[in-house]
Homo-oligomer: A and B are copies of this chain.
Amino acid sequence: MTQTRPGGRTARTRAAVLTATVDELIEAGYAGLSMESVAHRAGVHKATVYRRWGTLEGLLVDALTFFADQSVPTPDTGDIDGDLRELARSALAVLADRTGQALVRAMVSAGHHSQVAQVIRAFWADHTTMVAEIVARAVRRGELPPGTRPADVSRAIGAPLYMRLLVTAEPLDGAAADQAAAAVAAAARAGVFASS
């Protein structure tokens, strides 16, 4: 028999448990998630899941970290319309994907837990930092008014897409993303997101 490296086994267990977490979320939602069902689906002992992740929130937080770990480069297409379109397309890629959808829905359900809230805040802080770069370039090019607030732009790009996923249950397609980007661009140009 080959010897199993502990690091490798630990990493494999983590991947199996977090994949099982997402599969359970896709099937049953956060309301239906249990340590038992995750352990069973992952083929590990329940005690392992409890020992390593502690709670359902602990599992969710680690799943969010694990699956959201592919960092996207900051768009730099040469104009604000193109940059916003790329950001909206990145949001769409997450929200139109079953794993992304399951994790976003779980975040909404468990957003009152402090650990989960912290992950959400960190995500939006990162997104706003990326948007700040894009906005700064657009202000320098004279495309957007000085004082345009990156946090407002950041929230506005995703809002119609999250709305379609979570509230109105409408299609998430390229046209929806492009419209979201065009709406933000128009509002930002009009100074809606600029400090008065």
Contact = CB atoms under 8 A, between A and B. Distances in A.
A53 B117 CA distance: 34
A136 interface: no
Interface of A is mostly: helix
Interface string A5-23: 0000000000000000000
A163 B164 contact: no
A98 interface: no
A168 B120 contact: yes
A189 to B, nearest CB: 7
A158 B167 contact: yes
A186 interface: yes
Contact of A169 (B111, B156, B167): B111
Contacts of A156: 160, 183
A109 B32 CA distance: 11
A167 B31 contact: no
A162 interface: yes
Contact of A162 (B121, B166, B169, B189): B166
A190 B164 CA distance: 22
A105 interface: yes
Contacts of A193: 179, 183
A152 interface: yes
A163 B159 contact: yes
